[in-house]
Chain A
């Protein structure tokens, strides 16, 4: 009997690596996918171009992610949370205010249950935690740095060739290479994209006063300005401006840059100082017309990309991971071919609705809050005030922000596969 799915480390024999799932891209989403599969008895190989040390360095990615409660639950299930808990700060409240208007939206997690909406964690600490967890996962092999010079997908299997001449055979390829996914492009899957004339400035700040676990999102004329609570008296700043104004802001000296932040944030936090490099990301949304092809599943930004306004990009990707892992293990239990049409159809069916909903909500938020025409402004001020007064509507938004609604994958509900 061919050991097509034995509980073994990926086998290397004569430079041939045989595995169940070949994950291309070892970023946050690719590694999370590998770990979600490890421990189910399935084998995975991750190929990543960069060295792990490069990816976990401060200079590579100084961004902070908001992990929804569901995403944190998944990390708990796959054993990575223990490695990042010390770096995670809970979000107890969310306050949304509109450009100095008196009405504002206030979300308190105590209204939906006795747990935070989510957590902020610096990306490099998530990466470190994933690498630490991976070191203990026997069924996963990380090839980094590694480069696939060729990847063939046919009706009968996937065969990748590494630059060093080794070959990897698998039942399924997973594209987790991010926004410019070569696997997606190679499959001829078009991606519908929107660009906004806005750019997000991303950095972290320290402040005199405490943040009280409150995430604050101010909708200013140029776009949203958000401060998310981190460990200690620090916050992550996601500051959206018209793209043409961004280079000048990035070029300001420290004192002037801090003054600009203070101007917008007000004095709730006391004195604010930027304490990290400044990064900038043009805002855009994109959605692949399909998430699947012959023996290929796209996850994370390779399938859909969104700007950081709603803080849902990574969480959306983590829900892809959880759904794909669940579809694959369910299929493996039934002896189905993991790269066959039926598991892939189920994955796409499961994920497309959620992704489209989130993309549309995020797009709506940008359009609604980046418009200073008086009636629109009035509508949104009233809208926010109204939502605030209508308990059920508010709780719905809160639950969605915390990814509690809908047909959630088991890992997101904190259940084992």
Chain B
């Protein structure tokens, strides 16, 4: 937990309060908490299938090296670690990393958190069995460069799991007007619709970087249950599974 050691102790209180916000399922991050089980369910299913792991096991990802890019407070990184993976979580925001560290330590979950950009980690030559980046692409300025870095970080034969928003009339109405202006789930300005990427565009970026987009799944919100569900309808939120083909000898 290297980062925590380099942080001013007077700041720790503040990070613990921020951790409480990140991790309050009814707090500012509530939409991500609602989305989380569905994203994890898809990831678990794809990882178990790809690496031929035992779906019945509570720690099926044991032995896998997994990178969470744009990990925020660690909402995905911690569950992946509990599923057995050895997880590195990176985020460009030092405060996010301090927050994630404070929470993981308090709960006794081991995650290697670092403040850095995907491009910088890729430049170091690091590679992982699986690279996960969810609800991040729509906030990046250079999508092509970002995805190239994610592919570089995936070892040949490894997996990429991505989640983002589609650019459709429907997503404008639901994700921008609905979530930000009407329901106020998200602060106004959280998302820029122009930065949403269609699955075909995502597929193109991946292909150019040497990975293959294999599967897309939509996510549908069930208002009565307050839960999300995997769906064929990928017009708003969607998940993507891609692989980096093994190098041929």
Contacts and interface: CB of A to CB of B under 8 A. Distances in A.
Contact of A2 (B23, B41, B80, B109): B109
Nearest to A157: B107
A5 B83 CA distance: 9
A265 interface: no
Contact of B36 (A2, A42, A157, A336): A336
Contact of B37 (A4, A5, A157, A331): A331
B24 A335 contact: no
Query: Range of interface residues on chain B?
Result: 20 to 34
A5 B82 contact: yes
A146 interface: no
Contact of A333 (B58, B108, B227): B58
Contacts of B37: 330-331, 334, 336, 342
B110 interface: yes
A5 B79 contact: no
Given A156-B106, A331-B37, A349-B225, A340 B25 contact: yes
Given A41-B58, A156-B106, A341-B24, A1 B41 contact: no
Given A5-B58, A155-B20, A335-B83, A342 B36 contact: yes
Nearest to A5: B58
B80 A335 contact: yes
B58 A332 contact: yes
A51 interface: no
A335 B34 CA distance: 15
Contacts of B36: 334, 336, 342
B23 A155 contact: yes
Given A4-B82, A337-B107, A342 B34 contact: yes
Contact of B25 (A4, A333, A341): A341
B40 interface: yes
Contacts of A155: 20, 23-24, 106
A346 interface: yes
Interface in A326-357: 330-337, 340-342, 344-346, 349
A335 B79 contact: yes
A41 B57 CA distance: 9
Interface in B1-41: 20, 23-26, 33-34, 36-37, 40-41
B165 interface: no
B81 interface: yes
A95 interface: no
A345 B26 CA distance: 9
Nearest to B103: A156
A341 B20 CA distance: 12
Interface in A162-181: none
Nearest to B44: A334
A67 B177 CA distance: 51
A349 B78 CA distance: 25
A98 B48 CA distance: 60
Contacts of A331: 37
B58 A7 contact: yes
B226 interface: yes
B33 A341 contact: yes
Q: How large is the interface on A (under 10, 10 to 19, 20 to 34, 35 or more residues)?
A: 20 to 34
B59 interface: yes
Contacts of B109: 2, 4
Contacts, number: 77
A337 to B, nearest CB: 7
A261 B20 CA distance: 61
B40 A335 contact: yes
B24 A336 contact: no
Contacts of B44: 333-335
Nearest to A338: B82
B86 interface: yes
Contacts of A332: 58, 82
Contacts of B34: 342
Contact of B108 (A4, A330, A345, A349): A4
B4 to A, nearest CB: 15
Contact of B23 (A1, A5, A7, A340): A340
Contacts of A1: 81, 84, 86, 110
B210 to A, nearest CB: 29
A257 B40 CA distance: 62
A353 to B, nearest CB: 10
A334 B33 contact: no
Interface string B212-225: 00000000000001
Nearest to B224: A349
A-B residue pairs, 9 tightest by C-beta: A341-B25, A335-B79, A335-B82, A156-B106, A335-B83, A334-B40, A41-B58, A2-B108, A342-B25
14 contacts: A1-B81, A1-B110, A2-B109, A4-B82, A42-B58, A155-B23, A155-B106, A156-B107, A157-B107, A332-B58, A337-B79, A337-B82, A340-B23, A341-B33
Given A335-B40, A335-B81, 11 more contacts: A156-B107, A157-B107, A333-B58, A334-B79, A335-B79, A335-B82, A336-B40, A337-B107, A340-B23, A341-B25, A342-B33
